[in-house]
Amino acid sequence: MFQIPVATLGLPRIGRRRELKFALEDYWAGKSSEAELLATAAKIRAENWSLQKAAGASVIPSNDFSLYDHVLDMAVTVGAIPEIYGWDGGAVPLELYFAMARGSQGSEDECCHLHNGGTGVPALEMTKWFDTNYHYMVPEFSADQQFRLASTKAVDEFREAREQGFHTRPVLLGPVSFLKLGKRKDGGDPLSLLPRLVPVYADLLKRLAQAGADWVQMDEPCLVLDLTEEEQQAYRFAYDALAAARAPKLMLATYFGALGDNLPTVAALPVAGIHVDLVRAPEQIGSLVGAIPEDRILSLGVVDGRNVWRTDIAPLLDRLELLAKDNPGRFQLAPSCSLLHVPFDLGLETGLDPELKSWLAFAVQRIEELAVISHALSVDRANVSSFIAAASRALSVRASSPRVHDARVAGRLAEVSPTMTRRSLPFAERRRLQQEKLALPAFPTTTIGSFPQTAEVRRARAAYSRGELKPADYDTFLKSETDKAIRWQEEIGLDVLVHGEFERNDMVQYFGEQLTGFAFTKQSWVQSYGSRCVRPPIIFGDVHRPQAMTVEWASYAQSLTDKPVKGMLTGPITMLQWSFVRDDAPRETVCRQIALALRDEVQDLEEAGIGIIQIDEPALREGLPLRKADRSAYLDWAVECFRLASAGVKPETQIHTHMCYAEFNEIIDAIAAMDADVISIETSRSRMELLQAFRAFRYPNDIGPGVFDIHSPRVPPAEEMTNLLRKAGEGLRSSQIWVNPDCGLKTRKWEEVRPALANMVAAARQMRVVQ
Ligand code: GLN
Ligand code: ZN
């Protein structure tokens, strides 16, 4: 009997217990060899393959693994390696791969090109993957870019799986999405390179076929975006060409939204299968089944690859049953997208409250859910009835749980009025009052908040959370770190100081732990970029603030210095965006609840004498809906939430915000509407290109363009930063400009931060002299 296949589009590659993270960091620190790193990577792949099979998957991916990032892998695969990395055209060494990912430090001896005669090379740009918090490396092309197959990783991993008894479906990022996600250095349209790129894909597909692959998953997530006629044409061109090659069958994978107006294009592409996201866009199933030719396999993304709530299987089955009966043999079942974006296994969370746990499903559980759905549809629903009933029961408990609903929160929300979202004076007047109060020099210097979270800081935190370090001793330790940070900032001459955020484990978790409605996991990590992982909180219920969260630390730091200390908060949109958000209330309602809690905190800080308060919103851009038609509604409530959090203060209190790793063009109106007195943004990697949006808009308030990259260990000389500041000055008023790094410094070492910030202060002073 035919059983509907269960496919996974990709599994978390960091490893069940983040084995890859530790292996990478040891390797980068010179503590382990390349062979050891590669052995760990191979072990993770082997475990993932067998685990997926055990959980009930029948279509198992390969090449979903990556040592750093799958977009970078694709760039390397097709030889899109910018000249500065000095590729000799042969096999791509690991050192070069990691230089593209992380930059490389200069070295005295000119041993090789990557040390670039002592200055090192910068990393590729990094940006967010669609509307997720995963970051990819932006491929960089030259106008005369040539491509050629430079890595056989996809073929090698297919073979590796086969040797272990797994006949996999390799995953490639499709050629159109790959180009569209990249950049041409000269600003031209990267899609113009498609005719040169497609033959390399054809070559790779042919090699996969020769190795025995009968299907390949081609990820083309750009098919859920608004596409121009030329872009649709690019899809036709690429896939017609690939169909003519002796390629395996292609499963064209789309996710993160509906195909919408791209459906006719997709339906006409000569591929053997199409995967669609039926969690974000369940309504598209009707039109798809009609529009897509019957000989295509449809892969139905029916369980959520982006969120952690257990699937209510019974109603889903009711919807799928008839469809499956009418279309025998036509479907596969899959998560909505790769499981990269959810934690590995709920089973690791032994300490989580059992009731809450019964409402959740992570990557492994998603595959189990799919296996049950497949069994119910193709064999017998009765056999799996207890699993289905357990899901329904858990979800009905959740719907009426008193820990989810709090009438006081709803009451406060109902009282929010428009005046609560407006500052009492316009920016120009506030600025004058703030200038009088703060008396800052031109080109004021500051940092974004965090200072190095050294091994010592992390050790102390771990000892404290295990109960081995008494609260009073932990407090003393944190105070001494803060003392040092303040003294040191005074020494190098920064103008606006920060306390250093040593007490914070994570910029969202720290706040979530002090708010109601948030739950935290212990082992449930999700990759953010490279070896960096985050443990997103789970917002399961109404949010409010039982007591002040940051006032003590801010006041303590301020008591140590006459310079102004910035209070540091994480903004409502970022808290929302970096959490797994409840699916039983609109996101904007959850965001307003958080905004109200932060508003109380802002007011408490002001009352405690903190004159500058920064509310970080690095995630504002990534929350932007992928389709233009949905954007203004989102931006309206997002801006309103920021203002609700920030606008309650006196005019002389200076509100900062911070954003990073995003394109600002499309949201510049909204950024201006947030009306923060100062915004700091990450701009150094794009060599100030990102400022263009602010220039063109004539952004009225103050702005601190990041002058050094915090992802790289490299220490930029002061001249490099003055050059960037001069570049920033073209088109901005110099009185508008603040001087700061790209982002927080918690991932760096003091040995890197000290000289970099000292150079930054020197750069600002030079700018003041020139003035
Ligand atoms: N204040 C935060 C920090 O410095 C901001 C981090 C961020 O933008 N992601 O760590
Ligand atoms: Zn940042």
Report, as an integer, the average pLDDT of 378-384.
Answer: 94
> Does 506 contact ligand 1 (Cβ within 6 A)?
no
| Pair of tokens at residue 332 | 């596969």
CA angle at 321 for the pair 316 and 324, rounded to the nearest 5°: 120
> Does 567 contact ligand 1 (Cβ within 6 A)?
no
In a domain, 176, yes or no: yes
> Does 498 contact ligand 1 (Cβ within 6 A)?
no
pLDDT at position 239 = 98
Question: How far is it, in rounded angstroms, from Cα 702 to Cα 771?
Answer: 17
Does residue 467 carry a pLDDT above 80? yes
Amino acid at 219: D
- Output the pTM of the full model: 0.93
CB-facing half-sphere around the CA of 443: CA atoms within 13 A: 24
> Does 507 contact ligand 1 (Cβ within 6 A)?
yes
In a domain, 379, yes or no: yes
Q: CA 471: distance to chain centroid?
A: 33
In a domain, 152, yes or no: yes
Question: How far is it, in rounded angstroms, from Cα 611 to Cα 290?
Answer: 61
> Does 345 contact ligand 1 (Cβ within 6 A)?
no
Q: Are residues 102 and 214 in the same domain?
A: no
Closest ligand 1 atom to Cα of 570: 1
Which of these three, 73, 107, 123, is where a domain ends?
A: 123
Give tens-digit pLDDT for 623-646.
999 999 999 999 999 999 999 999
- Of the ligands numbered here, which is closest to the C-alpha atom of 133? 1
Question: How far is it, in rounded angstroms, from Cα 12 to Cα 18?
Answer: 9
How many angstroms is it from 432 CA to the middle of ligand 1? 28
CA separation, residue 710 to residues 26, 383, 679, 760 (Å): 20, 54, 17, 13
Which of these three, 350, 385, 400, is where a domain ends?
A: 400
How many angstroms is it from 452 CA to the middle of ligand 1? 12
Residue nearest to atom 10 of ligand 1 (CA): 744
Helix (H, G, I), strand (E, B) or coil at 708: coil
Mutate to test the pocket of ligand 1, among 126, 568, 617 (most ligand atoms within 8 A of CB): 568
Does residue 114 carry a pLDDT above 70? no
Which range marks the domain in which residue 706 is found? Answer: 425-514+551-770
Q: Are residues 396 and 458 in the same domain?
A: no
Among residues 584, 410, 618, 610, which one has the least CA distance to residue 496?
610
Q: How many CB atoms lie within 10 A of CB 177?
A: 23
How many angstroms is it from 661 CA to the middle of ligand 2? 7
In a domain, 7, yes or no: no
> Does 200 contact ligand 1 (Cβ within 6 A)?
no
Question: How far is it, in rounded angstroms, from Cα 566 to Cα 62?
Answer: 47
Chain position carrying tokens 């019964």: 358
Question: How far is it, in rounded angstroms, from Cα 483 to Cα 561?
Answer: 10
Helix (H, G, I), strand (E, B) or coil at 141: strand
pLDDT at position 759 = 98
- Residue of 115, 341, 658, 711 marked catalytic: 711
Question: How far is it, in rounded angstroms, from Cα 244 to Cα 163?
Answer: 29
Question: How far is it, in rounded angstroms, from Cα 457 to Cα 630?
Answer: 43
| Pair of tokens at residue 673 | 């509407």
How many angstroms is it from 681 CA to the middle of ligand 2? 7
Closest ligand 1 atom to Cα of 618: 8
- Of the ligands numbered here, which is closest to the C-alpha atom of 501? 1
Q: What is the DSSP string of 495-554?
A: SBB--B-TT-S-TTHHHHTTSTTEE--SS--EEEETTEEE---EE-S----SS-SSHHHH
CATH number of the domain within which 694 lies:
3.20.20.210
Among residues 363, 764, 292, which one has the least CA distance to residue 525?
363
Closest ligand 1 atom to Cα of 659: 8
Residue nearest to atom 6 of ligand 1 (CA): 744
Give tens-digit pLDDT for 275-308.
999 999 999 999 999 999 999 999 999 999 999 9
Q: Are residues 466 and 332 in the same domain?
A: no
Question: How far is it, in rounded angstroms, from Cα 593 to Cα 595?
Answer: 5
* Total count of domains within the chain: 3
Query: What interhelical angle do 34-55 and 363-378 show, nearest 10?
Result: 30
Question: How far is it, in rounded angstroms, from Cα 445 to Cα 743?
Answer: 13
Q: What is the mean pLDDT of the chain?
A: 95
Give tens-digit pLDDT for 10-38.
999 999 999 999 999 999 999 999 999 99
Residue nearest to atom 4 of ligand 1 (CA): 744
CA separation, residue 48 to residues 12, 164, 339, 353, 399 (Å): 8, 12, 12, 27, 34
* pLDDT class of 2 with cuts at 50, 70, 90: confident
Residue nearest to atom 3 of ligand 1 (CA): 744
| Pair of tokens at residue 463 | 């000892």
Judged by phi (left if over 0) then psi (alpha if -120 to 50, else beta), residue 732 lies in beta
Q: Are 741 and 715 in contact (CB under 8 A)?
A: no
Residue nearest to atom 5 of ligand 1 (CA): 744
In a domain, 537, yes or no: no
User: What are 370's strand-pairing partners?
Assistant: none
How many angstroms is it from 501 CA to the middle of ligand 1? 9
Helix (H, G, I), strand (E, B) or coil at 299: strand
Q: How many CB atoms lie within 10 A of CB 603?
A: 16
How many angstroms is it from 616 CA to the middle of ligand 2? 8
| Pair of tokens at residue 406 | 């709090």
Q: Are residues 77 and 114 in the same domain?
A: no
CB-based contacts of 510: which residues, under 8 Å, 6+ apart?
503, 504, 549, 570
Q: What is the dihedral of CA 481, 482, 488, 489, to 10 degrees?
A: 150
Mutate to test the pocket of ligand 1, among 499, 616, 709, 753 (most ligand atoms within 8 A of CB): 616
* pLDDT class of 119 with cuts at 50, 70, 90: low
| Pair of tokens at residue 650 | 């006196």
Q: What is the DSSP string of 674-704?
A: H--SEEEE--TTTTTGGGHHHHHHT--SEEE
pLDDT at position 345 = 97
* pLDDT class of 113 with cuts at 50, 70, 90: low
Q: Are residues 462 and 360 in the same domain?
A: no
> Does 617 contact ligand 1 (Cβ within 6 A)?
no
pLDDT at position 194 = 98
> Does 746 contact ligand 1 (Cβ within 6 A)?
yes
CA angle at 62 for the pair 12 and 522, rounded to the nearest 5°: 10
Q: Are residues 112 and 161 in the same domain?
A: no
> How much is the CA Rg of the chain, to the nearest whole Å?
26
Closest ligand 1 atom to Cα of 746: 10
Q: What percent of the chain has pLDDT over 70?
A: 98
Helix (H, G, I), strand (E, B) or coil at 222: helix
Q: Are residues 134 and 99 in the same domain?
A: no
- Of the ligands numbered here, which is closest to the C-alpha atom of 500? 1
H or E segment to which residue 50 belongs? helix 34-55
> Does 444 contact ligand 1 (Cβ within 6 A)?
no
Note if 113 is an active site residue. Answer: no
Q: Are 185 and 220 in contact (CB under 8 A)?
A: no
Closest ligand 1 atom to Cα of 449: 4
Closest ligand 1 atom to Cα of 614: 1
Mutate to test the pocket of ligand 1, among 457, 499, 504, 507 (most ligand atoms within 8 A of CB): 507
Does residue 689 carry a pLDDT above 90? no
How many angstroms is it from 449 CA to the middle of ligand 1? 6
In a domain, 417, yes or no: no
Instruction: Report residue 212: phi and psi, to 5°.
Output: 115, 0
Give tens-digit pLDDT for 231-242.
999 999 999 999
> For residue 441, what is the DSSP state?
P
Give tens-digit pLDDT for 690-737.
899 999 999 999 999 999 999 888 999 999 999 999 999 998 999 999
- Of the ligands numbered here, which is closest to the C-alpha atom of 617? 1
Instruction: Report residue 711: phi and psi, to 5°.
Output: -90, -10
pLDDT at position 663 = 82
User: What are 276's strand-pairing partners?
Assistant: 300
Chain position carrying tokens 């993304």: 301
How many angstroms is it from 394 CA to the middle of ligand 2? 38
CB-based contacts of 116: which residues, under 8 Å, 6+ apart?
84, 104, 106
Give tens-digit pLDDT for 195-213.
999 999 999 999 999 999 9
CA angle at 31 for the pair 716 and 462, rounded to the nearest 5°: 85
Residue nearest to atom 9 of ligand 1 (CA): 618
Among residues 179, 200, 182, which one has the least CA distance to residue 191?
179
How many angstroms is it from 17 CA to the middle of ligand 2? 27
Q: Are residues 369 and 449 in the same domain?
A: no
Amino acid at 69: D
Tell me which of 680 and 114 has the higher pLDDT: 680
Question: How far is it, in rounded angstroms, from Cα 303 to Cα 360?
Answer: 12
Among residues 675, 657, 678, 670, which one has the least CA distance to residue 732?
678
Closest ligand 1 atom to Cα of 504: 10
CA separation, residue 684 to residues 259, 688, 740 (Å): 35, 6, 10
Which of these three, 71, 105, 123, is where a domain ends?
A: 123
Helix (H, G, I), strand (E, B) or coil at 706: strand
Q: Are residues 337 and 467 in the same domain?
A: no
Amino acid at 137: M
User: How, if at all, do strands 532-534 and 526-529 pair?
Assistant: antiparallel
Question: How far is it, in rounded angstroms, from Cα 235 to Cα 223?
Answer: 9
How many angstroms is it from 563 CA to the middle of ligand 1? 21
Q: Are residues 300 and 371 in the same domain?
A: yes
CB-based contacts of 25: which residues, under 8 Å, 6+ apart?
531
Chain position carrying tokens 């004539």: 698
Give tens-digit pLDDT for 495-549.
999 999 999 988 999 999 999 999 999 999 999 999 999 999 999 999 999 999 9
Closest ligand 1 atom to Cα of 660: 8
> Does 175 contact ligand 1 (Cβ within 6 A)?
no
In a domain, 564, yes or no: yes
CA angle at 275 for the pair 272 and 276, rounded to the nearest 5°: 140
Q: Are residues 725 and 686 in the same domain?
A: yes
Q: Are 631 and 625 in contact (CB under 8 A)?
A: yes
In a domain, 520, yes or no: no
Q: Are residues 594 and 677 in the same domain?
A: yes
Does residue 111 carry a pLDDT above 70? no
